[in-house]
Amino acid sequence: MLALTTIGVLGTGFCYKTIVFTCNKTINLISEIGNNQYETLNLLLLKSDIGKKIVRTRQLILDINVDKDSIQFAIHDLDEIIETINVLLQHFLDCKTKHEQLYFNTWRTMDISMYIEKLTLYIEIYNHRFRDLVDIMSIIKN
């Protein structure tokens, strides 16, 4: 409830700038992860096409020129899940860096199953929220 009140108080411009910043951060994290030795993660990033979806989301937000509360709330929800993806990707990178510093790190592999499960769920939530935003924009336009 606090987040919804904050959007109303801070305004549309702040809401848009926040999600654009979050999208930029996600794009950088995905680029940093790039191709790594974890085939399952590479396959998930490729199959979900999440990097390109985030780029399109950022561009859509930059192109939107509507001051409707319903769109602001949808953007806030989208920003929230993108930020959750950011936290997960950053945590993965941090753990990967720690793992690479361990003795015999090339002999052991880091267990990334938890990251794969969570990222799969977060991408699914992202897809739903993005569709919600597009649907809301379509309804308002008509």
Q: How do the residues of the chain divide into helix, strand and coil, expressed in percent and rounded to 5? A: 80, 0, 20
Contact 102, 57 (CB under 8 A): no
Give the pLDDT of residue 10: 47
Other C-beta atoms lying within 10 Å of the C-beta of residue 6: 12
pLDDT by residue for the chain (142 residues), tens only, comes to 444 444 444 455 666 788 888 888 888 888 888 777 788 998 999 999 999 999 999 999 888 877 788 888 999 999 999 999 999 999 999 998 898 888 887 788 888 999 999 999 999 999 999 999 999 989 888 7
Domain definitions of the chain by residue range: 2-141
Other C-beta atoms lying within 10 Å of the C-beta of residue 38: 18
d(CA 6, CA 112): 36
Give the pLDDT of residue 11: 55
